[in-house]
Amino acid sequence: MSSDNAVLKAIYERRSIRKFQDDQVLPDQIETILDAGRWAPSGLNNQPWRFMVLYAGDKRQSMLAGCTKYGSIVQNAQALIIVFLDRQNMYDYTKDCQGIGACVQNMLLAAHSLGLGGVWLGEILNRDSEAMQGLNLDQEKYQLMAVVALGYPAENGHSNRRDLQELMLEDLDSQKF
């Protein structure tokens, strides 16, 4: 699928990248990615997301790698953006989780647009208490929602999608006006 529309092109071309080169991700690139994330929609515009950034070599990177079966991805990333729900700034739990999902998607699209690869890691939530302790964060105040591993791609991503008709509960043509 291709498009002349830059947004659609980014959506269609972005892939999860799990292997990274050793080239450093720069702070201004991270700031651009975070800025894209903060522009995601949220209920009542409460912006319930909070971020922590770890660069390659930070001792907490190894600790996080030990909290997931995808530890090699975490350990080899040049930067990690850790996304939290600010429990004290919640509007509605479900809507806030949806907003954080939109935030993460914005960040992945921004990373792709900058020539970086990234992957959204959620499996780490199975050991969120351990991760939160290692990050020295109050679990009453923050809830771990995702880790986004970033770097310059050392692989080409690949993916396929089900046919749209397989996903429809009703035929699109049945709703013509």
Residue 113 has a pLDDT of 97
Task: Give the chain's domains with CATH numbers.
Answer: 15-155 (3.40.109.10)
Tens of pLDDT, residues 91-137: 999 999 999 999 999 999 999 999 999 999 999 999 999 999 999 99
Tens of pLDDT, residues 30-77: 999 999 999 999 999 999 999 999 999 999 999 999 999 999 999 999
Tens of pLDDT, residues 158-169: 888 898 989 999
Query: Which amino acid type is present at position 110?
Result: A
Task: Report the DSSP pairing between strands 49-55 and 79-86.
Answer: antiparallel
Tens of pLDDT, residues 26-42: 999 999 999 999 999 99
Could you tell me the pLDDT band of residue 176, with boundaries at 50, 70 and 90? low
Residue 116 has a pLDDT of 98
Phi/psi at 56 (5° precision): -50, 135
Q: Going by C-beta distance under 8 Å and a sequence separation of 6 or more, which residues neighbour residue 151?
A: 17, 20, 21, 23, 25, 76, 77, 78, 79, 116, 117, 118
Closest CA to 145 of 40, 7, 19: 40
